[in-house]
Amino acid sequence: MRFSPTLETGRLLRRYKRFLADIELASGEQITIHCPNTGSMLNCMVEGGQVWFSRSNDPKRKLPGTWEISETPQGRLACVNTGRANALVEEALLAGRITELAGFTGLKREVPYGEERSRIDFRLEFAEGPAYVEVKSVTLGYSDSAVAAFPDAVTQRGAKHLRELAALARQGIRAVQLYCVNLSGIDAVRPAEEIDAAYAQALRTAVAEGVEVLAYGSYVDGEQIYIDRALPVLLNR
């Protein structure tokens, strides 16, 4: 996925009210842009660090741009626009780069399912039956490790999705949790038990009940981002 138009850069002054970020451009001008990440963005940003943003010329928009990529305190690059994850996964699925899910004959997005009224990110059709694929964007990294973690804040919604996937697996339906790691310099993924122990346990339970867990890393820079490699998932620290 290439960013078009080309991303602009600035320096982060602060993020506040979850959806707002003040940045300073090279000219010295200060502007406020939209932050499309509702999470804590733990270890994803540093005041004074470089940010990349897409600019909009839509006169109906209140803010001139959207924050896309952030320099992390560890010097990595993180795609903080969580809305990109599904598009990246779809691009990789159609290109056959996610080998475990290759060979599908149909793809549907946002399909309702489950007893808890969820929507699956992708339903893939195979000759032997469907596969339900839930995507999570991973951006939490640490300075002392090349292992990324999810989630970056307590997520009851994430645990619900694992329960829904496990229910499918118990019925013999293929169910997949796919972590899209939009963070450079990462070699593996694990559940962030130190942040949300309930989610970590829900993941292990889901795996025991037949849910497949996959993780794929992304190449990230200021011009493009794309899924480029499979990563191991470490269920226990």
3-state secondary structure of 38: coil
Backbone angles phi, psi at 43, to 5 degrees: 60, 20
Which two three-digit tokens encode residue 210? Answer: 């037949």
What are the start-end ranges of the H helices in 8-103? 84-95
- Report the pLDDT value the prediction gives residue 61, as an integer from 0 to 100: 87
Q: What pLDDT digit, counting tens, does each position of 127-166 carry?
A: 999 999 999 999 999 999 999 999 999 999 999 999 999 9
pLDDT of residue 56: 85
Give the mean pLDDT of 195-224: 97
pLDDT digits (tens, 9 = 90+) for 62-94: 999 999 999 999 999 999 999 999 999 999 999
Q: Quote the pLDDT of residue 57.
A: 81
- What DSSP letter does each residue of 61-80 carry, written as one string? -SSSEEEEEEE-TTS-EEE-
- Could you tell me which of 35, 10, 7 has the C-alpha nearest to residue 24? 10
Confidence of residue 97 (pLDDT cuts 50, 70, 90): very high
Question: In the chain, where are the structural domains located?
Answer: 8-74, 84-231
pLDDT digit string, tens, across residues 4-32: 889 999 999 999 999 999 999 999 999 99
Task: Provide the residue count of the chain.
Answer: 237
Asked if pLDDT for residue 237 goes beyond 80, the answer is no
Q: What is the CATH number of domain 8-74?
A: 2.40.50.580
* Residue in 193, 172, 189 with CA at minimum distance from that of residue 180: 189
Listed residue (114, 97, 103, 221) closest to 175, CA to CA: 114
Strand pairing category for 129-138 and 140-142: unpaired
What pLDDT was estimated at residue 39?
Answer: 86
Q: How confident is the model at residue 52 (pLDDT cuts 50, 70, 90)?
A: very high
For residues 17 and 180, what is the distance between their CA atoms, to the nearest angstrom? 26
Amino acid found at 41: M
Tell me, what's the pLDDT at 3?
A: 92
pLDDT of residue 196 exceeding 80, the answer is yes
Q: What are the φ/ψ torsions at residue 231 (nearest 5 degrees)?
A: -130, 145
Domain 84-231 has CATH 3.40.50.2300: no
How far is residue 108's CA from residue 125's CA, in Å, rounded to a whole number?
Answer: 8
